Amino acid sequence: MFTKLERERYNEDRERACKRLGITRNQYNWLRRKGEEYRLACEENCNGTYTEQQYEVRTKCLENGIYHYLLKQELNTKKHQMFVYFQTDPRGATIYLDTKEIPSNNYTQAVCIY
């Protein structure tokens, strides 16, 4: 559970992220939930619950679902291109989005979906 102050800060961060990316709160929340599923798969892999093959299938399925969602929501068109970076360390957020390419050595410049 969040305290009132933590919830307010989270909502402010989400609003800033939505404005920067040109997405709605519902779209952000969907991406956040998928990011948590992705993080959980990474955690299960680290804990040895998944085999490498199971892990690869699960994460690829989630990545494809996220890419499909971005296309379906028309967030990845010629007018509005969205780039995604997946951070596989289970100790933090896994999805980073930006309207410009995200370098793998500096992905924190993008918007963290948490």
Q: List the chain domain ranges.
A: 4-113
pLDDT digits (tens, 9 = 90+) for 90-107: 998 999 999 999 998 999
Residue with the bigger pLDDT between 80 and 31: it is 31
Q: How confident is the model at residue 80 (pLDDT cuts 50, 70, 90)?
A: confident
How many other C-beta atoms lie within 10 A of the C-beta of residue 87?
19
Look up the pTM and report it: 0.90
pLDDT exceeds cutoff 80 at 75:
no
What is the rounded distance in angstroms from the CA atom of residue 30 to the CA atom of residue 14?
A: 12
With tokens 């800060």, the residue in question is 9
Residue with the bigger pLDDT between 114 and 34: it is 34
Largest Cα separation within the chain, whole Å, is 42
Amino acid identity of residue 53, one-letter, is Q
